[in-house]
Amino acid sequence: VLGGEFLSCDGKAINDSHAEIQIRRCIMRFLYGQLRAIREGRCSVLEKVNDKYRLKPEFSLHLYINTAPCGDARIFSPKQEGSQAQVVDVDTHPNRSNRGVLRTKIESGEGTIPILSATEAFQTWDGVLAGQRLRTMSCSDKLCRSNLLGLQGSLLSKFLCPLYYSSVVVGRLYSFSHLSRALYGRLDVPEVTNVLPEGFYLNKPLLLPVSVTEARSVSKASGFCMNWTYGDAAPEVTRTSDGKVFNANNTGTPSRICKNSLFKLFIKEHKREVAAAKTAGTLTEDMEGKYDELMYYEVKNEAKDYNKVKNILIDHFKNSNLGCWVRKPIEQSMFSL
């Protein structure tokens, strides 16, 4: 997790360098490239349905992670010895109150801690800069959110239907009962699934173990992270401490998958949409220059259905006594290009 002293007010630092989170950012960057390919008449994995794009039926998204995602999916998983097949996947205490609770990663710490009160869900910019540990939701909770809201995020929701993983494969600490609860079971209730806007649904990906597990490593996590997306000339290496690109000059270059970079891709895609509308004679008054003066968080708030589903998720966790969703200081999203 990003060091609190490196908080960025212009979206140029990556807060969370866990693999599951980096992968989703890479997927979003990939999808912007696929939208551009369509505009330029090249092959794409996307197709248009009504006024938005979706994955073509012959394509699907699959996630492999070498261990159960941190948080609810991992903390109760059985200790493994030898083959994955030896694991007895039975939760002998499924109704205990600690099952399904929201948890957070903490700055300069390993593992996750539960959110014990609503006051812990609030983080302030000056508080973090003064020494309060920065907290971010666990990977289990973020994957659970993606199984309801989709992987595309709020900005891409302008162009895309919700996209979901078809399968999740886990290398170590696999437990179907804990993994399924953490990734979607907590939301599988009528008060969530029956009130979703069109296009959204509770995704239940196929959950699978590997036949041979990796040996447990006792070393601390690396201070570096690598990302690569189809079409990139080379991988990019970032530092987890400050969320910036690692290079010989130590210049603190923003990553190609940080908020600022993805926001730029959104604005470029919107401009291509405007240009296409001009050519087709379908340009409306509200399209051109629509986002010129808006800040990042204001553009995100334009995704009405996406934010409605997000609020459904947050309210359900709170009303079910599973905790409150921790939000980053709003100052992190108060930037424009």
Tell me the three state secondary structure of residue 147: helix
Token representation of residue 61:
């998204």
148-177 b/e (C-beta count within 10 Å ≥ 16 → b): bbbbbbbbbbbbbbbbbbeebbbbbbbbeb
DSSP state of 336: -
**Triad 16, 22, 28: Cα angle to 5°:** 120
What is the Cα–Cα distance from 243 to 317, expressed in whole angstroms?
Answer: 29
Which residue spans within 147-191 are E strands per DSSP? 165-170
112 within 8 A of 135, measured Cβ to Cβ: no
Q: Which of 20, 107, 236, 269 is catalytic?
A: 20
Whether 107 is catalytic: no
The first and second tokens of residue 18, run together, are 């866990």
Give residues with Cβ within 8 angstroms of 210, minimum separation 6: 84, 169, 170, 171, 174
Query: What interhelical angle do 19-39 and 139-149 show, nearest 10?
Result: 30
> In this structure, what token pair is assigned to residue 222?
């690396």
Residue 82 corresponds to which tokens in the numbers above? 């030898």
Q: Which helix (H) or strand (E) holds 309?
A: helix 304-319
- For residue 46, report the phi and psi dihedrals to the nearest 5 degrees: -105, 155
**Within its chain, how far is the Cα of 63 from the centroid?**
13
Paired strand residues for 46: 55
Closest CA to 96 of 298, 322, 331: 322
Residues classed as catalytic: 20
